[in-house]
Amino acid sequence: MLKIVPYPHPALRYPSKPITQFNGELKEIVREMFGLMYEARGIGLAANQVALPYQLFVLNITGDKESPEDELVFINPEIVKRTSTARDEEGCLSFPELYGKVFRAKRVRVRALDLEGNPFEVEADDLMARAIQHETDHVRGRLFIDLLSPLDKLAIGKKVQGFEKAFREAQERGEYAGDDELRRQLDDLASRSPV
Ligand code: ZN
């Protein structure tokens, strides 16, 4: 059973490992990730956000589970071209109710593998380009709050501290292991990568 883990769970800072096996377990993980994403009303979800240290994210920019034809799976994603920039608001399922304006490339070309392990490339712009950049950052252990302006970072400081406090309290209650143990689990999963 996967679940979306909140900031500052160490998985969110973990540089994930590439996937090299494309089996039923991988398909099961992807199915579960789409389910969690729809439930949380998101448009994208990276494996890091469910505490899995694999280079994988799912996307459906309609956010509508009745629109499965818009579902995309990116494995071992790499942005190979960035064009122009745009600043717009972003949120993240690891930071519920937190939003901030982030500069991103307006248009990107991304190279990835699909669920069968076949390489593909897509060009995307605007919302989809933004989502691809946000999710590709996740699998590198980077977060959108890193990209806010100094002023915006100050403005959200209290909320971020709130997330930190809530997570530490959840650890004290035993809902999550301590950071060292969580990192050990991530290392363990990553060493057994592919899933
Ligand atoms: Zn996110």
The rounded Å distance from CA 9 to ligand 1 centre is 13
What are the tens digits of pLDDT across the range 20-42? 999 999 999 999 999 999 999 99
What lies within 8 Å, CB to CB, of 90 at 6+ separation is: 99, 100, 101, 102, 130, 134, 144
The rounded Å distance from CA 12 to ligand 1 centre is 9
Output the pTM of the full model.
Answer: 0.96
Given this model, what pLDDT does residue 192 score?
83
The rounded Å distance from CA 42 to ligand 1 centre is 9
Got the DSSP string for 80-96? EEEEEEEEEEEEETTEE
The rounded Å distance from CA 5 to ligand 1 centre is 11
Distance CA 120, CA 139 (A): 18
Given this model, what pLDDT does residue 194 score?
59
The rounded Å distance from CA 119 to ligand 1 centre is 24
Is position 169 annotated as part of the catalytic site? no
Amino acid at 97: E
What are the tens digits of pLDDT across the range 148-181? 999 999 999 999 999 999 999 999 999 999 999 9
**Catalytic one among 97, 116, 121, 135?**
135
